[in-house]
Amino acid sequence: MSVSTTTASREQVLEEIVGAERFLLVTHEGPDGDAVGSLIAMRGALAELGKDVVMFLPASELPLPYEYAFLSLDGLVTELPGDLDERTLVFLDCGNLERNPIAGAESDGAHVLNIDHHHDNTRFGTVNHVDDAASCTAEIIWDIMGALGLRAQGDVADALYVGLVTDTGRFMYDNTGSRAHVMAAELIQAGVDTHDIYRHLYEGMPFAKLQLLARALDKAQCFDDGHLTLSWLSGADFAETGSVESYSEGVIDHLRAVEGTKVAALIRDRLGPGRGDERKVSLRATDDDVDVSRIARAQGGGGHRRAAGFTTRLGDAELVTFLRAAIARQLA
Ligand code: AMP
Ligand code: MN
Ligand code: MN
Ion ligand 3 residue ranges (Cβ < 5 Å): 34, 93, 136-137, 167
pLDDT digit string (tens) for 1-19? 445 678 889 999 999 999 9
308 lines ligand 1 (CB under 6 A): yes
Query: So where are the chain's domains?
Result: 5-202, 207-331
User: What single DSSP character describes residue 64?
Assistant: P
Distance 261 CA to ligand 3 centre (A): 24
For residue 27, what are the CA distances in angstroms to 14, 35, 39, 257, 329? 19, 6, 7, 29, 33
Q: What is the mean pLDDT of residues 46-69?
A: 96
307 lines ligand 1 (CB under 6 A): yes
Percent of the chain with pLDDT over 90: 91
Q: Which ligand is nearest to the CA of 282?
A: 1
The closest alpha carbon to 220, from 183, 263, 266, belongs to 266
Q: Whose CA is nearest to atom 4 of ligand 1?
A: 282
Q: Whose CA is nearest to atom 12 of ligand 1?
A: 303
CA distance 215 to 237: 7
CA distance 261 to 255: 8
Q: Whose CA is nearest to atom 20 of ligand 1?
A: 301
Q: What is the mean pLDDT of residues 191-198?
A: 98
Distance 207 CA to ligand 3 centre (A): 27
228 lines ligand 1 (CB under 6 A): no
- Ligand 1: which atom is nearest the Cα of residue 283? 2
268 lines ligand 1 (CB under 6 A): no
What Rg do the C-alpha atoms of the chain give, in angstroms? 20
Q: Which ligand is nearest to the CA of 119?
A: 1
246 burial level (CB within 10 Å; 0-12, 13-18, 19+): middle
Phi, psi dihedrals of residue 127, rounded to the nearest 5°: -120, 130
Task: Classify domain 5-202 at the CATH superfamily level.
Answer: inorganic pyrophosphatase (n-terminal core) (3.90.1640.10)
CA distance 67 to 204: 7
Q: Which ligand is nearest to the CA of 117?
A: 3
Q: What is the mean pLDDT of residues 142-158?
A: 98
Amino acid letter, 216: A
Distance 301 CA to ligand 1 centre (A): 7
The pLDDT of residue 4: 65
The pLDDT of residue 43: 98
Mean pLDDT of the chain: 95
311 lines ligand 1 (CB under 6 A): yes
169 lines ligand 1 (CB under 6 A): no
Q: Which ligand is nearest to the CA of 167?
A: 3
CATH top class, domain 207-331: alpha beta
Instruction: Judge whether 208 and 241 are in contact, CB under 8 Å.
Output: yes
Same fold, 5-202 and 207-331: no
The pLDDT of residue 1: 45
The DSSP bridge pattern shows strands 302-303 and 307-312 to be: antiparallel
Cα torsion through 123, 41, 65, 307, rounded to 10: 40
The pTM is what?
Answer: 0.94
